[in-house]
Amino acid sequence: MLLDKIEELLKEVSTLTAKSADDVEQLRLRYLSKKGEINALMGEFRNVAADQKKVVGMKINELKQSAQNKINELKDQLETSEAQSDDIDLTRTAYPINLGTRHPLTLVKNEIIDIFARMGFTLYQGPEIDDDQHVFTMLNFAADHPARDMQDTFFIERSNTMDVTKNVILRSHTSNDEAHYMSTHEPPIRVLCPGRVYRNEAISARAHCFFHQVEGLYVDKNVSFTDLKQVLLTFAREMFGADTKIRLRPSYFPFTEPSAEMDISCNICGGEGCGFCKHTGWVEILGCGMVDPHDLEACGIDPNVYTGYAFGMGVERIANLKYRVSDLRLFSENDTRFLREFEGA
């Protein structure tokens, strides 16, 4: 009886067919798995008379080998059929697919965030498309103030030419995030605002119509310019090295008073003077200052109780200094030859 069953299975195996890899796998499970037909025969083999064990055993082995060969044959046929198929996606990335790396701007932005996070700053990201109220008006830009010309932006909607606060625009700085945050949170505030910004600039090696900024804001009681200087000195040394020096030069920003530009000692020549720093030994990296009382009041914070400082830097500028990239257009051209240079970073 067992020999008859084996013969039936041999005939069955010889006629097996499959239309997909799943079908092949189901056949393998049916015949060759621990709960399959052939393994079940091995259980019945224990009851075979001693004088027939050799013959039956050879037949079971023959069945097992036939099933294995047939399943392998079906698998090879499917693979060959797929390889010769006309239904090929010609847009598919060629194999092997090389692993990429993080973009240099992402590397620098993450490093900036990490440094300030260790100093207690939390992350906040606001809208790239915003109203004039948050981008300019709440930050002490009067409707006719000439400082608006410093940040010529792109307009999405100009619904009321008589009231600029109603305009919808692409933000020209991430300071709008600070206006949003101060309007919805009470001091103490210690927040970092990274993001992409837009300005109507002629594209060149030193300027682009979009770039990336990281701005920081700290508002609390008794915040002083000394606190600001120490935070920025710590940042500069963490980013560019322990020997880095800073200097603060008086400047003007509508939303801070007093305001300053911050330079670092040139990390290429070590402050000795070179072509990159125009032989001054210093390179500008950010603007900063004490938050103007008007800004605090516009956001619902009492300027008689609280003071604060703010700072902002371009991520491309920091990346230029850190990796010595001479043309910032390289950051947005997606040239893989350039991007591969940062795999080690």
Binding positions for Mg(2+): 257
Q: Could you tell me which residues come within 8 angstroms of residue 45 by beta carbon, excluding any fewer than 6 positions away?
A: 2, 53, 56, 57, 60
The whole-angstrom separation of Cα 282 and Cα 338 is 27
Which residues participate in the annotated binding site? 257
Query: What are the residues facing 250 on neighbouring strands?
Result: 260
Alpha helices by DSSP H, the chain: 2-14, 21-32, 37-45, 53-83, 104-117, 132-135, 175-184, 225-240, 293-298, 315-323, 336-339
The structure tokens listed for 340 are 């591969």
Residue type, 176: N
Radius of gyration for the chain, computed over Cα atoms and rounded to the nearest angstrom: 35
The whole-angstrom separation of Cα 198 and Cα 151 is 9
The structure tokens listed for 125 are 């990201």
Residue 281 φ then ψ, to 5°: 85, 0
Helix (H, G, I), strand (E, B) or coil at 130: strand
Among 90, 223, 201, CA closest to 149: 201
The whole-angstrom separation of Cα 203 and Cα 211 is 11
- What would you measure as the largest C-alpha separation in the chain, in angstroms? 110
The whole-angstrom separation of Cα 144 and Cα 113 is 35
3-state helix, strand, coil split of the chain in percent (to 5) is 45, 20, 35
Whether the CB-CB separation of 159 and 131 falls below 8 Å is answered with no
